[in-house]
Amino acid sequence: MLSDNTSSTQDFYHRATLEYNGVFRHYVYPKKTGSGSGGTRRQGWSSSSFIPSNLCTSILESTGGGACGFNSLCRDDTEGPVCECPDGYSFIDKNDVLKGCKQNFVSQSCDRAFPETHLFDFQELENRDWPLSDYQHFQPVSEDWCKQSCLSDCFCSVVIFKNDDCWKKGIPLMNGRIDPTVGKKALIKIRIDSNNSRKHSNSIPNLARLGLLCSSAFLNLLLLIITCLLFFHIIHHRKAKLSMLYPGVQGNNLKSFTYMELKGATNGFKEELGRGAFATVFKGVLASEDGKHVAVKRLDTMVRENDLEFKAEVSAIGRTNHKNLVQLLGFCNEGQHRILVYEFMSNGSLASFLFGESRPSWYQRREIALGTARGILYLHEECSIQILHCDIKPQNILLDDSFNARIADFGVAKLLKIEQTRTTTRFRGTRGYVAPEWFKSLPVTAKADVYSFGILLLEIVCCRKNYEAKMEDEDQMILADWAYHCYEQNKLHQLFRNDDDEARDDIEEMKTYLMIAFWCIQEDASRRPTMRNVTQMLEGTVELSNPPNPSSLYVQCKGL
């Protein structure tokens, strides 16, 4: 029997059930009213005891979401566990709360020029924790230091603080629980309501507002007069200035465009092709090039100290020449305008091709994977200056007329001199594709791009994103963990859609590609292959051994 308070089988009916959440519960039903000590007993089934006594703290998963799913909190109740979402989050499916929770706000930008730290604050909650979700641990530190560290880290979603210990945790959060025994304070980072910033706007008196408007009108008129006087002077010297902008890249056959040329080519920057953390890309037509279509990347509000980075990008891309790289045609550098002009890729990005309704064939996916690997190999080993891309992801792989992979967006690239092999630069990259060493203050090498390529290769093989919060089965939410599980259990068919007959017919080759991906995403950078090795593996020219389990960044226990 489960209960120490034994009830006589002479006076009670007994039954035990194994419930959907794994709780084994013992029920009793009095055979007659008044049975038992303590007076009259209600006629009906009642719970006598259950195992485990607290499901919320009993379940501790290294690769799953816990008792209530990812990003949720589990609170023990007399009738069983109750699932909740933290502030700023809501249930993925209100009809099935075990699927976990999702963010109701836009995540913090990882653009180092615009970190958005002022747009986020913390919600403090006692006795909450998400064990096994942390990726950094600091000791001893103050609570204010802990908060500030999280605010300056775009990957940090929650910090747990207790006795000068600070644990930083990232999405997806796992094993969430509310329990008095936790004894820790959870600080949940949420975006501040934009409406709060407008509350003060109505406090300006009408007379003051009128005075401000009049002053503004006068200043605008004065500014217009000064602008007109200087306009012709600026135009007169523009050509001479442009010819002196980049004397070091003239040999790269890059054309120097004026801002007005590119504004006309894009019809006033009208047709947007894509938007990144620090730039927007527009479609354009060059009248001077017989109507040639181009992609015009306009960098957002640039500050003067970033001018060197812009020049580095122009210089680096101008020296590259490979069939799997997007070609840079020219640039513009006038005043605060920083613009790059690339050849136009008619078939868009790999992301829209891979995750859209009409899925690419397995042959196309193989060619795209191999072309991408060759392009990264060129950047790492065949350039005059080694280039770390630092942001390999489907959105940065474009497709030309023949659906050949063309690597784009060197805006966050890190250039290394010939004698350098590693860098300790500040964090760069995109959530979900970055290597673990970025979070551990370790030197970053070309192996960081290998890791990102490994995640990308998994997405190419499986035709799905590396993290999907809306998956019905939470074990399938993190692609790397799910794919390795299927590989380990020899159930690779579960990775592919029912209509992907081609993939099922070529299951052995897809297994090979998955094994390559698992080698690429090894947590220890020294165990990852170089991009040359990866390319040879994809080409089938080197032997491939069985990969060990790649430990996911977000499922490591850091001493909790």
The residue written with tokens 């485990």 in the block is 52
pLDDT score recorded for residue 498: 59
CATH, residue 369:
1.10.510.10
CA dihedral 245, 251, 254, 256 (to 10 degrees): 30
Q: Are residues 478 and 376 in the same domain?
A: yes
Last residue of a domain, one of 316, 343, 370: 343
Per-10-residue mean pLDDT, the chain, length 560: 61 82 79 58 72 78 79 84 91 89 87 78 92 86 92 90 92 89 92 52 46 68 78 53 45 80 94 80 88 88 55 73 90 86 91 84 93 95 84 92 88 46 53 81 86 96 89 86 92 75 77 96 93 95 91 41
Active site residue 391: yes
Q: Does 232 fall in a domain?
A: no
Q: Facing residues of 138 across strands?
A: 166
37 within a domain of the structure (yes/no)? yes
Would residue 423 count as lying in a domain? yes
Which residue has 């080694």 as its token pair?
386
Is residue 273 domain-shared with residue 368, that is, in the same domain?
A: no
> Of 163, 194, 225, which residue is a domain's last?
194
Amino acid at 211: G
Could you tell me if residue 199 is inside a domain?
no
Same domain, 431 and 525: yes
- Residues 80, 179, single domain; the answer is yes
Which structural domain, as residue segments, surrounds residue 20?
12-51
Domain boundary pick from 326, 343, 360: 343
Judge whether 63 lies within some domain: no
Q: Are residues 29 and 139 in the same domain?
A: no
Torsion over CA: 430, 436, 441, 445 (sign): negative
Q: Indicate whether 521 and 385 sit together in one domain.
A: yes
| Number of compact structural domains in the chain | 4
Q: Is residue 391 part of a domain?
A: yes
Residues 6+ apart with CB under 8 A from 220: none
Cis peptide, bond prior to residue 52, ω within 30 of zero: yes
Residue 56 resides in a domain:
no
How many other C-beta atoms lie within 10 A of the C-beta of residue 323? 13
List the catalytic residue out of 76, 129, 153, 391: 391
* CATH assignment at residue 272: 3.30.200.20
DSSP assignment letter at 396: G
Same domain, 313 and 446: no
- Residues 113, 248, single domain; the answer is no
User: Which pLDDT value is given to residue 386?
Assistant: 82
Same domain, yes or no: 24 and 85:
no
- Which contacts (CB < 8 Å, 24+ apart) does range 34-37 have? 35/11, 36/7, 36/11, 36/12
**Does 297 count as an annotated binding residue?**
yes
399 and 543 share one domain: yes
Cross-strand pairs, 406:
398
Q: Does one domain contain both 304 and 368?
A: no
d(CA 299, CA 296) in angstroms, rounded, equals: 10
CATH of the domain at 88: 3.50.4.10
- The answer to whether residues 151 and 279 belong to one domain is no
Asked if residue 215 is part of any domain, the answer here is no
